[in-house]
Chain A
Amino acid sequence: MKRLFALLLLPAVASAGGQFLPLRGVRPGARGGAFVAGADDPGALWYNPAGLASLVGGEPHTLLIDAAWAGHSVSYTRIDSGGNALPTVADDSQPLLLPTLAAEFDLGDRWALGVGLVAPYAALDGYPEDGGQRYSLVSFHGSVLATLEAAVAFKLTDDVSIGAGIQNTFVKLRSKLVFSACPKEIVCAPEDPEFDAPGRIDATSWLTPSAVFGIQATATSWLRLGASVQLPSFVSAGGTVKVRLPSSGFFNGAHVEGDAADVSLTLPLIVRAGAEVRPVPAVAIEAGFDWEAWSMQDQVEVTPHNVRVEGAAGVGTYDFGPLVIPRRFKDTYALRLGVEAEAAPGLFVRAGFVHESGASADEYLTVAAVDTDKNVVTAGVGYRFGKVRVDAMVGHAFMGSRDIGRGTSCAPQQNPIRPPAGACVHDGSPDHVYVGDGSYDSAWTFAGVGMQADF
């Protein structure tokens, strides 16, 4: 069992905020994530823990296992700070299995308990180290984001259930990007690769608590309403930042000492609401609305501790200071529509559509968070064999191209040499190096299978 757990959890994925797909789970995903009012299996841990109460009075235990694959394709043609279009780079995202492992227990007396380990649907992007995007991201390969949750649901009445879960999100962030150690233009052009300092941030947070609350209410025999609130998570991860000094002779004789660093970021508050209609008992149609407060993630901070360059020419010791990666995300909203119908006994068909607005403003759009408006189409099937149901899902997210014109981006080149970039300035000169201008094309394709067993 432990091996199974390991196998399933190892690739659990996350990346920085704003890159999640607006859905997760094979069955919910096939419904386009419209699974707030209609949540009725362990998948409710993610969408609405009140849905766990659906088990009350049914089978005493339910186990849900699924896994999905999310493919993220990005092509980016950067316009550098000198106004030059650089060769297009394509995402080399790391193929991952995104699991759901959840169990639900009927505790009796109108109580139900759910536990699970879930991960958002995200991709671990990767790009060439010498590509034009390198100052934003080289790769997230090796990162992990997984949430362990325990939730209880209570059936207040036959028609109203509430649920609450506590969560701990495990964050293992591995971000490779290239810093520039060009001391402005004293001896170098601002994007001279000989002043590139490839770096890797490894940060792990074992404890990132949060909570989720939900409610479901059956208004009529054909209408059920639901809502949930996912509290934000404040990630503070300890780890390392490692840097390879630039190749320029300016750094001959220098070396880096120390590598301890902290990373902090915030995962947003999410409010979900949905209304499920059952025009006939075998058909459920849910419409939903999500509001995700990504604006809470204003920036990602990397705080080195006693990391320093020693032996720098004419300087000696130079401390690495905090790196601030501005995100300036916008709140997003998602409109969902999902359908699930028992087309034949034990055979379920599902479809869904989601429109979600992008979190990234033009000024802060980079390959580290290519989060534009999405239109996601999903479909899936399920078949129940006795107490076991097997599900499958496929989907594609159509994302709008984004052309960030020259002089738009305010995402700064990361340069550990102080002072840090200040206010965003566009004056036609390359004095301020921003790394987000250019054309972005991206899309997601995902699929998954799973099973649920009642016993």
Chain B
Amino acid sequence: MRRAPWGLLACLAACAPPAFDDTREPADTGSFGTIAYTLICKRLAYLADRADGSGTYDVTGATYRAFCRVGGAAPPNAYPEVVALGAGRARLIGALDTAFPASFLGPLQGLLTANGFLALYDDGTIVGASQTLADLMKAMAGDAEFRAAMAQLDARRGMRPPIPALGALRVVARYPDLDAFLLAVPPAIAPGGAAHDEFQHLVVAASRELADTGTVARRADPERTLNLAIQLLLTESPSFPSARPRWLARRDARGLPVVATIAPPYVDKDGDGLADVNATGSFVDAAGAPIASPTPFPVAGAADAAPRDAFGRAALYRYVDVDRTLLGAVARDAFDLLSPSRGTGLDLLRASAVLLGARRTTTRAYAHAAPLTYRGFDASGAALLDMIYAYLDLLADPGIDDTLGLLRALVADHEHEASRLLEAILATNDLGKQFPGAALEPGSPLYDDLVPVANQILAVPGLAEDVLRALEAPETRDLAARFGELMTYKDRIDFDPSTQATIGSFRTPVDRTATDSGFNRSLFQRILHLIHDSDGHAICNKDGAIIRLFGIPLSLPYNACDLMRIDDLAVFYVQSIAYAKDAQGRVLYDSDGRPLPKALLPLNLPSWMRPLTTDGLLEFSSGIDGFRWHPTPQALNRVLFLDPSPSFIASVLDPPTCADGDRYIDQHPGSLAALELKDTYAPIRPLVQAFADHDAEHLFVAVLSVLHKHWPSRRSLQHQHTNPVGYGYAWQSNVASYEPLIARMIADAKLWPAITESAATVDAIVVNGKNAPAVLASHGRWVFGPRPGLAKRGGATTTTTEDGRPVATLSPWHLLADAYKAKRAALAAAGDEGKLWDRAGGEVLDLLARGDATGGGWRFRNPRFRGMTLLLIDFLRGRVAAHRGTLDDWLHREMPARVEEVMTGPVYAGAADFVLSLSSAPSARAALESLGQHLLSGGEPTDVTLTVAGDLLQWFADDPDLVPLVHMAGKALDPAGGLVDAHLTFLAKARAVDTRTVVATVLSNLFDQPGPGLTADAAIVDAICDVNRTSPVADRGKPLGADDYGRVFDVVGTFLSDEKRGLRRFVDIVEDRHLP
């Protein structure tokens, strides 16, 4: 008895409970898709039951259990939404299995249940993402205009071929490096990321702009900017080679496919050039009855009996091969611009900020959106806007059509010359980068000084044209080589007093480390100096000059200048190079058949003596060959520099002095004779002749004088630059520093040969009945000619030269010069940031405009550049023609204002800042660029990118239907809604804990195709829509209407936010997974 309690315990121990059977018998053993479908179906049935108003509920799910699990016939009086879901059972299961294949479920579960991912529930990340999306869905559901627009959109299907019709997101989602993209980009732009603030500025700006979008009164107006863009970008050009057609249906401004030929039953009763439609966008016949029209391309899942060609096109409509359009061409080249290793595209955008001036806080008001205060660009100091304004002004040239026509003809019909010229220019530009020492003295007014001379040249009728034609001369081709030698060497070239032969050769290069003084100046610099010192300088016989023959005086002593006065020695010298011509322009020859130099010795001989004073007598008397009535330059050289001077000359002339009062033989020895070494006169003669033919030798001299003024450096001991009227004055711009570059350029034999060898072809081009030289000269006159009333972008009508001299009347050149001056200043002030502009710009040019010599001649390396150029030229010509009556207003007010609005607006500022901020997140930037490249990498991605871009571009013209969608997009982006930040945060955090590329795989799988013409995501979305539309059974297969969209969005929004039976409930469950 005493042991009774222990017996009890023993009993209880012996009576251990039977084992609990915890063996689970799974009810669902199918694929993930099948299981998920079953669960979805059961949920749907239950929710429908809840909503049917009967007051009782099948809380066990028995009614639909079998139907949901195995399909088959629906229960009697089944809920329409469940029936609709069941009708798409196989498709939805297939889509789910495609998105979540069995092999992927393990990694997926691994990610979803990783502590790092689960933490996203705890910290509100997932709730934030789902709630903001839910809010957007609710907003969509509540926006009647948006719903109607969606319905209209749904009625415009089949505009793209099947693959592009799957959407651009598919290309992104299937991007092979999507995982790396997710690893780099979202963390950078999500809250807390290095580029978040700037990204958000961009997003908020885009949001406001989208929200403010309004409709235009005449959406089909061909002058509408968008329609112009469509015309420019979507016009096929034979210049664009295409081995892979990328067809797209052309849309009209109504967003409908363009009927190629309007013939019965299609009608155009309203005469708008488009087939008539009814209110729902269906084509109608003459009686107004809808016509059963095929879609341009087949629509996946839709019945289609229309005859189609190999590309799936219905013959009814117009199409465009996007691959043969400017859009396609630009897209192809954008691939290289997006290269992460070069970063050209983004750098260009980034550097443009430097050229848009200082920042200021400003507020932009919107008609349909809240004002936005942002850090925008101060337009008043924007060099880039000045540049654009200045270039626009060039289009104001009344002869601009000729100029553009000339360019067009050159590019279209003379690619050899065009590409060669451009390549030579670019190569030269590249060459310049190898000579950093080549730089003008800051503030140099070289160009300011040249422009007046240019204007004078252009003012002489036909002169500029002849100068251009002179380039055709075969002799001219050697000019560069000669000049190259003159700029390279500093040797003293003299005359042998006894033989008058030249002494010396090109042997000693200029010592660039020493000052450019004395004989350490290139021959070219010294000759310029000489010519400058002769410019306008008169030479006279000496006082007491006596004409002698064999020592016998033949005349009484002359007073100074009575026997001979050369008013301008420089001009005279130039004339000695040129040939005299008769009234018909024919070169005159002497009796010995030698062409007569234009220079004529102004000898004031007694009349009896003139017939006796033959050329031979002059040569004999002077002892100088060529010293004839029409002296050769060689003869003049000797007159000036033979030392001692021949007696005949000495009897007439004192040793000549130059403008500075120095004797030539003292100040300018050893230089001019260099022109004789390789007969530099021959190649220079055609140019000189052009001036001489117009009696404008002084302008040639003026050019050289200006060059002299600026050639020396400030180190040169030869000159001073402080007293313009003092001895040895020169501005000393240091053009001499370019001599090595020029010499190298000449040695490379690209630019000058390109110019001279192309000149004949170019000059032969006739545009609008005008030849090329005339066209160029005319445009030159427009560019350089002062134009009263011309104002800069800011309104100023005057400016100053580089060295501060006032310019009372502006020319287009001044606009350009000032703009570029501002540009240089801005870039210089920006340091390395500023260098991006030149580098990126150079890369763009390299990409587009380089040329190659091929077996058949020169061609643009980029096969699309020619076509792009032609299209742009045609577009410009068209625009100019369209605005001919209001060109001034269009070019000087409307266009600048538009450009300024865009470039100083919040979007551009945001984009520029964002790109700049990516410097702190280089991997994000590279990832963005790589993604961009992927989209344009050819094959299917490019198929999709191009056709989608082209289709969207067309679709944008359909304002009434588009604007509500755009407004909604603006709402989606509005940071106040938090959608973007929330989802970026989610992506960033999810990827951070994703060690098996699950996130990227999910995205990719969602866009995989479980069947032809359908992606998994689309199938899932279709199922959601089919089930949740207002009449799921009665309207099955029909396009969704506005009410349908409203309900779909509402249901989805509710699911995302419902804390009782929606996603939030699941989130709550996960949040509560652990006990406190």
The chain A residue with its CB closest to the CB of B35 is A249
| B1034 at the binding interface (Cβ < 8 Å) | no
Given known A-B contacts A103-B1, A202-B17, A316-B112, A189 and B1075 have beta carbons under 8 A apart: no
Cβ of B1068 within 8 Å of any chain A Cβ, yes or no, is yes
* Contact present for B1060 and A431 (CB under 8 Å): yes
Judging by beta carbons under 8 Å apart, are B27 and A248 in contact?
Answer: yes
User: 9 A–B contact pairs at CB < 8 A?
Assistant: A6-B7, A82-B59, A83-B56, A117-B4, A144-B12, A170-B8, A246-B24, A315-B112, A316-B113
How far is it, in angstroms, between the C-alpha of A189 and the C-alpha of B191 when the chains are bound?
39
Which of chain B's residues have a CB closer than 8 A to the CB of A360? none
Partner of A187, one of B4, B12, B39, B1068: B39
Chain B contacts for A249, CB-based, 8 A: 26-30, 35, 38-39
Measured CB to CB, the closest approach of chain B to A24, in angstroms, equals: 18
Is B1065 touching A186 in the complex (CB atoms < 8 A)?
Answer: yes
A231 within 8 A of B: no
Is the C-beta of B460 less than 8 angstroms from some C-beta in chain A? no
B10 proximity list for chain A (CB < 8 A): 2, 6
Is the pair A185, B1060 in contact by a Cβ cutoff of 8 Å?
Answer: yes
- The yes or no answer to A268 lying at the interface (CB within 8 A) is no
Known: A2-B3, A194-B27, A243-B22. A189 touches B60 (CB 8 A): yes
Interface residues in B78-129 (C-beta closer than 8 Å to A): 109, 112-114, 118
Chain B residues whose CB sits within 8 angstroms of the CB of A188 once the complex forms: 39, 42-43, 46, 61
Indicate if A174 sits at the interface (CB-CB under 8 A): yes
State which residues 274-326 of A face B: CB under 8 Å. 311-319, 321
Q: Are B60 and A184 in contact (CB under 8 A)?
A: no
In the complex where A244-B23, A249-B35 touch, is A204 in contact with B113 (Cβ < 8 A)?
no
Min CB distance B1013 to A, Å, is 30
Q: How far is the CB of A420 from chain B (nearest CB, A)?
A: 10
In the complex, what residues of B have CB within 8 A of residue A341's CB? none
B21 contacts the other chain (CB 8 A): yes
Of residues 118 to 150 in A, which have CB atoms within 8 Å of B's CB atoms?
A: 142, 144, 146, 148
Which of A194, A204, A243, A319 has a CB less than 8 Å from the CB of B1074?
A319
| Further 4 A-B residue pairs, CB within 8 A, beyond A82-B58, A250-B39, A430-B50 | A1-B4, A186-B43, A186-B1066, A187-B42
B 957-978 binary contact with A (CB < 8 Å = 1; else 0)? 0000000000000000000000
Q: Are B1074 and A80 in contact (CB under 8 A)?
A: no
Interface: A371 (CB within 8 A): no
A19 to chain B, nearest CB (A): 21
Contact of B28 among A183, A248, A418, A419 (CB under 8 A): A248
**B883-925 interface bits toward A, Cβ cutoff 8 Å, 1 = contact, 0 = none:** 0000000000000000000000000000000000000000000
Chain B residues near A430 (CB, 8 Å)?
50, 57, 59
Interface size class on chain A is 35 or more
Among the stretches A31-39, A215-223, A251-259, the one at the interface with B is A251-259
Does A328 make an interface contact (CB < 8 A)? no
What residues on A are CB-neighbors of B1069 within 8 Å? 183, 315, 318, 417-418
Chain A residues lying within 8 Å of B15, measured Cβ to Cβ, are 10
Supposing A81-B57, A82-B58, A189-B42 touch, asked if A253 and B109 sit within 8 A by C-beta, the answer is yes
How far is B7's CA from A315's CA once the two chains are assembled, in angstroms?
47
Whole-angstrom distance between the Cβ of B866 and the nearest chain A Cβ: 57
Task: Tell me which of B5, B21, B49, B1075 has the highest count of chain A C-beta atoms within 10 A of its own C-beta.
Answer: B1075
Is B1037 on the interface with A (CB-CB < 8 A)? no
Does B11 make an interface contact (CB < 8 A)?
yes
- In the assembled complex, the Cα of A191 lies from the Cα of B61 at a distance in Å of 8
- What residues of chain B lie closer than 8 Å to A315, measured between beta carbons? 112-113, 118, 1069-1070, 1073
**A267 on the B face (CB < 8 A):** no
Would you call B27 and A5 a contact (CB within 8 A)?
no
Distance from B556 Cβ to chain A, minimum over Cβ atoms (Å): 123
**Chain B neighbourhood of A204, CB < 8 A:** 12
Is the C-beta of B662 less than 8 angstroms from some C-beta in chain A? no
Nearest A residue (CB) for B6: A2
What string of 1s and 0s marks CB contacts (under 8 Å) between B1043-1076 and chain A?
Answer: 0000000000000000011110110111011110
How far apart are the CA atoms of A337 and B996 in the complex, in Å?
78
The interface residues of chain A lying within 8 Å CB-to-CB of B18 are 142
| Contact residues of A between 85 and 121, Cβ < 8 Å to B | 101, 103, 117
Q: Which residues of A (181-202) have their CB < 8 Å from a CB of B?
A: 183-194, 200, 202
Known A-B contacts A2-B7, A82-B56, A244-B21; the reply to A316 vs B61 at CB < 8 A is: no
On whether the beta carbons of A185 and B43 are closer than 8 Å, the reply is yes
Given known A-B contacts A1-B1, A419-B1072, A186 and B1061 have beta carbons under 8 A apart: yes
- Check B59–A314 contact: CB distance below 8 A: no
- Are A189 and B61 touching (Cβ within 8 A)? yes
A81: B residues at CB distance < 8 A: 57, 59
In the complex, B47 has a CB within 8 A of chain A: yes
Query: Which residues of B are found within 8 Å of A117, using beta-carbon distances?
Result: 4, 8
Residues of B within 8 A of A313 (CB): 109, 112
- Does chain B have a CB within 8 A of A242? yes
* Contacting pair B24 A187 (CB below 8 A): no
Chain A CB within 8 A of B608 CB: no
In the A-B complex, the 7 residue pairs with the closest CB atoms: A249-B28, A316-B113, A82-B57, A249-B35, A185-B1061, A82-B59, A418-B1072
Q: Are B11 and A9 in contact (CB under 8 A)?
A: yes
Judge if B55 is at the interface, Cβ distance under 8 Å. Answer: yes
Q: Is A314 a contact of B112 with CB atoms below 8 Å?
A: yes
Category for how many chain B residues contact A: 35 or more
How far is B41's CA from A187's CA once the two chains are assembled, in angstroms? 8
A172 contacts which of B12, B43, B61 (Cβ < 8 Å)? Answer: B12
In contact, B26 and A252 (Cβ under 8 angstroms): yes
Among A146, A185, A200, point to the contact of B47 (Cβ < 8 A): A185
Q: Which residues of A contact B30 (CB under 8 A)?
A: 249
Q: Which residues of the other chain, A, contact B28 by a CB distance below 8 angstroms?
A: 247-250, 252
Asked if A157 is at the interface of the complex by the 8 Å CB criterion, the answer is no
Q: Which residue of chain B has the shortest Cβ distance to A103 in the bound complex?
A: B1
In the assembled complex, the CB of B106 is this many whole angstroms from the nearest CB of chain A, namely 9
Known: A200-B20, A316-B113. A6 touches B8 (CB 8 A): yes
Cβ contact within 8 Å between A184 and B1060:
yes
| B270 CB, min distance to chain A CBs, angstroms | 54
CB distance from A119 to the nearest CB of B (A): 11
How far does the alpha carbon of A430 sit from the alpha carbon of B46 in the complex, in Å?
11
A433 within 8 A of B: yes
Residue among A170, A249, A429 with most chain B CB within 10 A: A249
Instruction: Report the nearest B residue to A419, measured CB to CB.
Output: B1072
Q: Tell me, yes or no, whether B25 is within 8 Å of chain A by CB.
A: yes
Q: Tell me, rounded to whole Å, the shortest Cβ–Cβ distance linking B588 to chain A.
A: 101
**Closest chain A residue to B30, Cβ basis:** A249
> Provided the pairs A144-B12, A202-B17 are in contact, do residues A189 and B58 lie with their beta carbons within 8 angstroms?
yes
Q: List chain B residues, Cβ under 8 A from A247.
A: 24-28
CA of A183 to CA of B1073, assembled, Å: 12
Q: Which of B43, B1062, B1063 has the most CB of A within 10 A?
A: B43
Cα–Cα, bound, A422→B989 (Å): 34
Across the interface, do A314 and B1061 meet the contact criterion of CB distance under 8 Å? Answer: no
Name the CB-closest residue of B to A81.
B59
Instruction: Report the minimal beta-carbon distance from A256 to chain B, rounded to whole angstroms.
Output: 7
The 8 Å CB contact of A148, one of B5, B26, B27, is B5
| A433 contacts B8, C-beta separation under 8 Å | no
- Restricting to A403-455, which residues have a CB under 8 Å from any CB of B? 417-419, 428-431, 433
Q: Are A192 and B1065 in touch, CB under 8 angstroms?
A: no
Tell me whether B1075 and A319 are in contact (CB under 8 A): yes
Min CB distance, A169 to chain B, in Å?
A: 12
Contacts of A248 in B (CB 8 A): 27-28, 39
Please, what's the 1-or-0 string for A153-192, where 1 marks a CB less than 8 Å from any CB in chain B? 0000000000000000010101000000001111111111
Across-interface contacts of B1075 in A (CB, < 8 A): 319, 321
A64 proximal to B (CB < 8 A): no
Tell me which residues from 225 to 268 in chain A have a Cβ below 8 Å from any Cβ of chain B. Answer: 242-253, 256
A187 to B58, CA, bound (A): 14
Residue of A nearest to B37 (CB): A249
In the complex, are the beta carbons of A244 and B22 less than 8 A apart? Answer: yes
Q: Which residue of B lies closest to A242 (CB)?
A: B20
